[in-house]
Chains A and B, each alone.
Chain A
């Protein structure tokens, strides 16, 4: 059985109808953890926003996205909004744009919870504080009472993670969820993500440019380039025996620590003449 089935998903923008996502197809089973890696600008975030029904009005979407058997493409906003609370949630790449600058973050997390559960105020606060604590915010009371601009980059990112996980959705989409975190906090957050996904039998789409993190979180990966999926497969196969020259370049350039300090770092172009892809 599949939880999510994407077929020929295409997203174009604006009057010029620039293609950002070009006829991609993939499946996600329940509890599966799928990584998406690929070049900056290759369509990873646009794919995630299409799944969430959060693309701007200038976007034209075609193809099919089925979540638990329900078609999402063409569904009215109000219907998708309900699924967003219940079935799926997302951790956004740029935390500041996903947070309301005029509202304390504790209240923002609580609103997600109440929207979903329809419960009244009292115990929500306690649950919010506990969730903020679990994402590694030791001074969670203070964080809950802060406005977004009063928090550091990593604190904001973890507030978003708390919002995405607090309702235990079936599908969690994480778009670069740990970019603003140092490795020790990152390890803690990834452990929490694993716990929540396991406890709730939830599936995950995990977008990251950190191949090491992807290899730890995901069982399978898609590689995107210029809006297309150029390679897909189990993590172990893809990272040890990549087939597409772009993937080979990506894997080969990921090890900065193997280059002497100060020496020129290899880029994908050294392995894969860029024009080949177009």
Chain B
């Protein structure tokens, strides 16, 4: 996709106040009887427009839980989340249009997030037909957009007529990415979006995301356990551990001088080719 595609800038990024795009305050989410599992425990953070924030942390540290809350797919046990200055906690679905129009999500497990009875073509263009986006995207030709995004993630055009189960794991992950990018969102929240991709396709998707950030000011909230990817793509990092923020800062700073023991262990454990 290039900078002059249709649809650029229509999705509500006009406001230029100093108000952060997301403000998360003291967020807690517990699960189970008596809140036995504290998946998130008093997390506060801010996300600016155009920021490229990466969330890292060990398995089970609360990364997916956090972004599900930020996408208003789940409700916190306590705490506050505002998007564009408006609280989204406790809002009804029909009031969330302003969020749904701006934010797209790529889930961690692509297979369970793609409707098995829909063709890839209708899965990818579904966000274009959603009520929140239709008016903003009037000028967009869905078929042309479909071809563009499939090409951008290196899927063959004939993929559109096939069903999700007919694809490989990495191809399904790319279908999910194409779907999220189709409406040209202002914010992309992605949970391990490149973890199942071979190195070359991964490079292609990361280049695409970098281009979108540069050309459109896309805001990126990215969950990854791959520190090489994080260092390449993101400008700031949050390290979660057992539901709490263990460390945060600019990517350069966290990589050069990791403070938390967990961050140091993560950096030390990056596998190298060993012969």
* A and B: bona fide binding partners: yes
- Measured between alpha carbons, how far is A95 from B169 in the docked complex, in Å? 11
B58 interface residue per 8 A CB criterion: yes
B17 interface residue per 8 A CB criterion: no
Query: Would you call B198 and A267 a contact (CB within 8 A)?
Result: no
B191: chain A residues at CB < 8 Å are: 153
B105 interface residue per 8 A CB criterion: no
Query: Would you call A153 and B271 a contact (CB within 8 A)?
Result: no
Query: Would you call A211 and B227 a contact (CB within 8 A)?
Result: no
A124 interface residue per 8 A CB criterion: no
Query: Would you call A176 and B109 a contact (CB within 8 A)?
Result: no
Q: How large is the interface on A (under 10, 10 to 19, 20 to 34, 35 or more residues)?
A: 35 or more
Query: Would you call B225 and A181 a contact (CB within 8 A)?
Result: yes
A153: chain B residues at CB < 8 Å are: 59, 64, 108-109, 191-192
A187: chain B residues at CB < 8 Å are: 269, 271
Smallest CB gap from B234: residue in A? A261
Most chain B CB neighbours (cut-off 10 Å) among A56, A153, A257, A259: A153
B 150-170 to A, binary, CB cutoff 8 A, 1 in contact else 0: 000000000000000111111
- From A182, A213, A239, B225 is in contact (CB under 8 Å) with A182
**A-side interface mostly:** helix
B174: chain A residues at CB < 8 Å are: 40
Query: Would you call A259 and B232 a contact (CB within 8 A)?
Result: yes
A179: chain B residues at CB < 8 Å are: 192, 195-196
Q: Tell which of B3-11, B19-27, B141-149, B202-210 binds the partner.
A: B202-210
A 204-235 to B, binary, CB cutoff 8 A, 1 in contact else 0: 00000111110110000000000000000001
B37: chain A residues at CB < 8 Å are: 142
B49 interface residue per 8 A CB criterion: no
Q: Tell which of A4-12, A23-31, A108-116, A248-256 binds the partner.
A: A248-256
Query: Would you call A152 and B60 a contact (CB within 8 A)?
Result: yes
B166: chain A residues at CB < 8 Å are: 13-14
B168: chain A residues at CB < 8 Å are: 40-41, 44-46
B 227-253 to A, binary, CB cutoff 8 A, 1 in contact else 0: 111011100000000000000000110
A39: chain B residues at CB < 8 Å are: 198, 200-201
Q: A39-B198, A40-B198, A41-B170 are in contact. Are A216 and B274 (CB under 8 A)?
A: yes
A266 interface residue per 8 A CB criterion: yes
- Which residues of A pack against B, CB within 8 Å? 13-14, 37-41, 44-46, 56, 93-97, 142, 150, 152-155, 158, 175-176, 179-187, 209-213, 215-216, 235-236, 239-240, 249-250, 253-254, 256-257, 259, 261-262, 264-269
27 A-B contact pairs sorted by A residue (CB < 8 Å): A39-B198, A41-B167, A41-B168, A45-B168, A96-B111, A97-B112, A152-B59, A152-B60, A152-B63, A153-B64, A154-B59, A154-B60, A155-B60, A179-B195, A180-B59, A182-B58, A182-B59, A183-B266, A184-B266, A187-B271, A209-B198, A209-B202, A253-B199, A254-B273, A256-B203, A262-B210, A265-B232
